[in-house]
Amino acid sequence: MATNDAVNEPATKGKLKLIILIVVAVLLAIGLSVGATWYFMHSPKSEPVPEVDASVKLPAIYEPMAPAFVVNYSANGRQRYMQVTMTLQARNPEDLKALKVHMPVIRNNLVMLFSGQVFDDLATPVGQEILRQKATASVQEVAQKELGKVVIDQVLFTNFVLQ
């Protein structure tokens, strides 16, 4: 019996280490996402903000990003794919129009972000929300760099298919 326990012990320790590593990676991804979103939301603006009543908020406007993003994955020896349709939420139509000029850069960055994901992580609601937050931060980063302001409140996944 002692021999059997000795054989099972390394496998159990390996599984425990893998679980711990996955949990740490997920927490790190959440932290980076929240940090990036906070940074872009609180970074100094290059233009002075006109004084308006704080209680007045411009209505949300939505800009669909077409076509949908399709990414292929190899997971557990099988071909898998993700298809996601996205919409940008903003408040200022002029800013949104200015951001559209940079759509090739935004789409490129999103394709790179999506293709770098682990398929199994995307199969959970937490994984999908983390990806949505990362996509929001990616679009906000381009807007900040090119327009000097964030422009986008959030990216919304209007369709999300894993197969």
* Residue 84 near residue 73 (C-beta atoms within 8 A): no
Model-level pTM? 0.65
* Residue 89 near residue 153 (C-beta atoms within 8 A): yes
- Angle made by CA atoms 47, 50, 56, in degrees to the nearest 5: 130
- Is pLDDT above 80 for 53? no
Distance separating the N- and C-terminal Cα atoms of the chain: 44
Q: How many CB atoms lie within 10 A of CB 132?
A: 18
Residue 39: pLDDT band (50, 70, 90) is confident
Residue 31, both tokens:
């932290």
Listed in sequence order, the residues at least 6 apart from 126 whose beta carbon sits closer than 8 Å to its beta carbon are: 26
Q: Which residues, listed in sequence order, are joined to residue 155 by a DSSP beta bridge?
A: 88
* Residue scoring higher pLDDT (10 or 79): 79
- Is pLDDT above 90 for 34? no
Report the pLDDT averaged over residues 75-103: 94
| φ, ψ at 121 (rounded to 5°) | -70, -30
Listed in sequence order, the residues at least 6 apart from 109 whose beta carbon sits closer than 8 Å to its beta carbon are: 138, 139, 141, 142
Query: What digits encode the pLDDT tens for the residues 94-152?
Result: 999 999 999 999 999 999 999 999 999 999 999 999 999 999 999 999 999 999 999 99
- Percentage of the residues of the chain whose pLDDT score is greater than 70: 83
* Residue scoring higher pLDDT (34 or 72): 72
Residue 4: pLDDT band (50, 70, 90) is low
